[in-house]
Structure 1
Amino acid sequence: MMKKSIRSCTTFLVGKKASIDGSTMIARNEDGGETPNPQKFVVIQPENQPLVFTSIVNGVTIPLPEQPLRYTSTPDADDAFGVWGGAGINSENVAMTATETITTNSRMLGIDPLVPEGIGESDILTIVLPYIHSAKEGVLRLGDLLETYGTYESNGVAFADENEIWYMETLGGHHWAAVRIPDDAYVIAPNRLNIDNFNFESEETLFSKDLPDLIKKYSLNPETNFVNLRHIFGSSDIKDTRYNNPRAWYVQNYFNPEIEQEPTAHDLPFICRAPRKITVEDVKWVLSSHYQNTPYDPYGKGCEKKKKQFRPIGINRNLETHVLQIRRNVPKEIAGIHWLAFGPNTFNSLVPFYANVNDTPVAYRDTPKTFNLNFMFWLSKTTALLGDTNYALYGSFAEAFEQKTMAACRHLQIEADEEVLNQVDSIAYLESVNQLMADLSLKNANELLGQMVATGSAKMILSFPLAD
């Protein structure tokens, strides 16, 4: 198998009654390995979607339905190891983020082993998103593909339309389960099996058809009176206490500080409700977080052992971050917003790109495989690299840059929302607005880098007082 290293991401979901404006939001940091692995932002047209999909990873061949939809996507700039579409919104305003790498256990893998010749993260967006017209339909299509072809890895996938969010997890090679996220709830899902309490009789759940019988046949449930999928299929090991659970703890503490929990606890809840409405800025903040105001902040003042104890959400391996927002009470032409930021989240900013377009700005679309500061991925990577050398010195610059960029882009968005219906060609108009936002973001990021270089030059070790 031509397979890249597993991508250890963080997913965040917000129901329509939990968000400040009534929109649904599904978001994720796509994290990679230690090498940069540049990303790009593109639109896939129906005529460019194959009739038969063949995976570069393992050669699995899958016939695809006719009449695919147009969709946005955030694939790798280097497609030698597969597409890795990542996330997108299709022309029916259905959003999909794929995928969150999760864990399982030997009990389930002994019953239903992973399938080396099956489908995986590299393929899933391409073979699902262009063919669905609702979030629930996305779960059913992917579920059918999993049961037919199997998968070679364990993953979590989220779908959203203007009314619903569904979160789905794979269980072994062919099995899966999904839950409709309550409208008034939020979810933080790190790299573990996240779904906990599950009702097979509910209309708010979906699952592979033989899953209840499989649990009973193989005596998988450690409980007597209820079903908890995390207890049945999850790992709950020492790695989770350092790598996964603390991320959920920190986000839940941010929105619900009144609840006392331990960062290493395995049974942190899956479905959560905040006492206030959640904004896009909130989502970006938690997906950029690194345990601020705790002893575990790598940039903080705690002891070195505690500063390295837990894996943060904002990390050097952030490749891209998306917030897929499906807005309500606006014309369908402007309902889908593909918020996007490239690179490590401590030194970048989300940009609210309209999804109903035929093309994307060059600085985001044509990311080269090698370093080039004219493209947003490489510019963001550079500011983060320099910023990491002295966060105390540069951090305030990054905060000002992010607020300045998001405020300016929001202003452009407000104007465009009001003007778009007066346009003869709404798609061309939205593309021009996206270009303005991309230009603004690139300009501000260049100014940020220049400010950091100017300030940091005076702090270089190779310095000596000027002669009198």
Structure 2
Amino acid sequence: MKKQTECTTILVGKNATIDGSTMIARSEDGGRTIIPEGFKVVNPSEQPKHYQSVISKQVIDDEDLALNPLRYTSAPDVSGENGIWAAAGINSENVAMTATETITTNSRIQGIDPLLTTEEGGLGEEDFVTLTLPYIHSARDGVKRVGYLLEKYGTYEMNGMAFSDKDEVWYLETIGGHHWAARRIPDDAYVIAPNRLNIDEFKFDDPDFVCSSDLKELIENYNLNPDFEGYNLRHIFGSSTIKDAHYNNPRAWYIHNFFNPEFGGKPSDQDQPFICHANRKISLEDIKWAESSHYQDTPYDAYGDQGTAEQKKTFRPIGINRNFETHVLQIRNNVPAEIAGVQWLAFGPNTFNTFVPFYTNITTTPISWQTTPKFDLTKIFWINKLAAQLGDTNYRVYGELEADFEQKSLAACHKIQHDTDTTVKDLSGKDLQTKLEAANDKMAEVVYSNTVELLGQMVDEGHGLMTLKYDLLD
């Protein structure tokens, strides 16, 4: 059984961020069943030499697995029942990848290039990071690698994925069973990509737009373009449904208005632009707030007091109980390359957690982030889930506690990161990695401790609010 994943992707070019870094982010969301996620380094000796997908049984030829894979970080599904699902990471050459964003399609392209069935084979979200990230040396390499794999092996699902290095951010979407398209995100722009086909304007004669070699011919031969001028891939290959209006578009609309209040529009608008510009430089905290959002200060906030019961259930929020892992992959330009890669990582529902900025030039990860499949309060994944489920019972009371916890934790992590950047500036090799791993452990310990403290505060505040109580003074 394939596990469900429905996510929200945020991409930011280097001239649109507060510190000149590139940032690609995604919340990895699942279905009704809890999917425990971990944090792992895959060292070259651990990279599969022969690969077979669990879901589709697709075997990857040895010729497509390089002899000398790079080390990379990942955020896998720790159960392994449906395969690796490495999700996101940064390799030893500071190239980042997040995969995948589940997207939409339409019957026109499916009638021409159908998605494979899992019985036929093909690749999916289970496979892409493992088969791509250890073999690429730039963001453009990532696009080329995935494009090659899609054309050779095909896919059984529609997905979007992103790549970045210190200079470029790219976003790729699969089209049908074997086709694909990608575009470079302008350095001064950002992107919000919910669960629909997102790329709109496409230029076939521009090097910042690339695709499978016959895509333009396919569009023309099968009369797929509904527009009088130009090529809009969302119109050609995507959807514009009632589900999009309630499930996908409102998420983009809300964050567009957060990044630029002049954006306006309506939550259900179908043609919100793919490439956008904020009214300020975007920070890590902005992305965390966006990935945690639930339509605050609108009638659609499940925790708010503005709307009716029906309005509160109208639109799917970004911050949701089904957030199991969220990351921001940051490649910094204001520090040496050896410490430039940072994987900001959070487990559990984003409305009740915090990011931790883990250095990625490492060979192991903090113990508390090595999640166990079963409930275990020594692991941050499970303690975050507990905090979220308790916090959800009375957001008016617990929300402020969480906000203080998040600010306190992010401040502590920023301080450790600043101190470490300075301390390790003259180190290299194993000495450097040892210091970075120690810094990661310290940040993990601080956040774990702060989360336990948050739980204690919730218990204190909630004691008198329980329904099951009786007092002679009541």
Output the TM-score relative to the length of structure 2.
Answer: 0.97
Structure 2 counterpart of 1:388:
392
Q: 1:459 aligns with which of 439, 444, 465?
A: 465
Q: Which aligned runs of 4 or more in structure 1 are off by greater than 2 angstroms? A: 421-424
Displacement of 1:244 = 0.1
Which residue identity is paired with 2:437?
A: E
Displacement of 1:86 = 0.4
- Report 1:218-367 matches (<5 A): 218-301=222-305, 302-365=307-370, 367=371
> Secondary structure, in 3 states, of the residue corresponding to 2:15?
coil
> Secondary structure, in 3 states, of the residue corresponding to 1:263?
coil
Displacement of 1:3 = 1.7
- Report 1:203-218 matches (<5 A): 203-218=207-222
Structure 1 counterpart of 2:98:
97
1:180-219 residue CA offsets vs partner (Å, 9 max, x unmatched): 0000000000000000011000111110000000000000
Q: How far apart, CA to CA, are the structure 1 residues paired with 2:273 and 2:81?
A: 39
> Could you tell me whether the CA contact under 8 Å between 2:6 and 2:195 is conserved in 1?
yes
Q: How far apart, CA to CA, are the structure 2 residues paired with 1:113 and 1:422?
A: 54
Q: How far apart, CA to CA, are the structure 2 residues paired with 1:122 and 1:453?
A: 39
Displacement of 1:390 = 0.5
> Secondary structure, in 3 states, of the residue corresponding to 2:217?
helix
- 1:369 paired with 2:373, answer yes
**How many pairs are equivalent?**
465
Structure 1 counterpart of 2:205:
201
**RMSD of aligned C-alpha atoms?**
1.0
> Could you tell me whether the CA contact under 8 Å between 2:19 and 2:334 is conserved in 1?
no
1:241-265 residue CA offsets vs partner (Å, 9 max, x unmatched): 0000000000001111112211101
Q: How far apart, CA to CA, are the structure 1 residues paired with 2:263 and 2:293?
A: 19
1:45-74 residue CA offsets vs partner (Å, 9 max, x unmatched): 001111221111121011311100000000
Q: How far apart, CA to CA, are the structure 1 residues paired with 2:99 and 2:402?
A: 28
1:113-150 residue CA offsets vs partner (Å, 9 max, x unmatched): 11121000000000000000000000000000000000
Sequence identity (%): 60
Structure 2 counterpart of 1:59:
57
Displacement of 1:80 = 1.4
Q: How far apart, CA to CA, are the structure 1 residues paired with 2:30 and 2:427?
A: 41
> Secondary structure, in 3 states, of the residue corresponding to 1:274?
coil
> Secondary structure, in 3 states, of the residue corresponding to 1:59?
coil
Structure 1 counterpart of 2:2:
3
Displacement of 1:334 = 0.5
Q: How far apart, CA to CA, are the structure 2 residues paired with 1:432 and 1:260?
A: 46
> Secondary structure, in 3 states, of the residue corresponding to 1:421?
coil
Structure 1 counterpart of 2:32:
34
Q: 1:445 aligns with which of 444, 451, 470?
A: 451
Q: Where does the alignment leave 5 or more consecutive residues of structure 1 unmatched?
A: none
Which residue identity is paired with 2:461?
A: T
Q: 1:45 aligns with which of 18, 43, 52?
A: 43
Q: How far apart, CA to CA, are the structure 1 residues paired with 2:324 and 2:473?
A: 45
Displacement of 1:463 = 1.2
Which residue identity is paired with 1:184?
A: D
Q: How far apart, CA to CA, are the structure 2 residues paired with 1:438 and 1:50?
A: 29
1:431-456 residue CA offsets vs partner (Å, 9 max, x unmatched): 00000000001000000011101111
* Between 52-61 and 409-418, the greater mean CA deviation after superposition: 52-61
Displacement of 1:467 = 7.1
> Secondary structure, in 3 states, of the residue corresponding to 2:27?
strand
Which residue identity is paired with 1:259?
A: F
Which residue identity is paired with 1:73?
A: S
> Secondary structure, in 3 states, of the residue corresponding to 1:97?
strand
